[in-house]
Amino acid sequence: MANHKSSLKRIRRDEAKRLHNKFYARSTRSAVRKIKTITDKKEAEEMLPKVTAMLDKLAKRSVIHDNKASRLKSQITRHVASL
């Protein structure tokens, strides 16, 4: 266990940040999965900008890697275009 006040604070702060990142990463993964299963083009086109924005935010905050965000955006854009 940590002995210094600053290290105890760092542990608390890191745990809060971990939970925050986990929530947003999980909700984004669910949104990506949902848009990949949509068969209605109009609904998918409405959802596409929201999901790409979510991926961009995760990449900007280093929750996921930039290349992964780019790859996922490419996949969902191709899916929506193919509908």
- Write out pLDDT tens, residues 9-22: 999 999 999 999 99
- Phi, psi values for residue 40, rounded to 5°: -90, 120
Residues 45-60 pLDDT 10s = 999 999 999 999 999 9
CA distance 65 to 29: 14
pLDDT for the residue 2: 77
Mean pLDDT across the chain? 95
Residue 52's CB is within 10 A of a number of other CB atoms, namely 17
pLDDT for the residue 21: 96
Q: What is the mean pLDDT of residues 26-54?
A: 96
pLDDT for the residue 36: 95
CA distance 32 to 10: 32
CA distance 19 to 58: 14
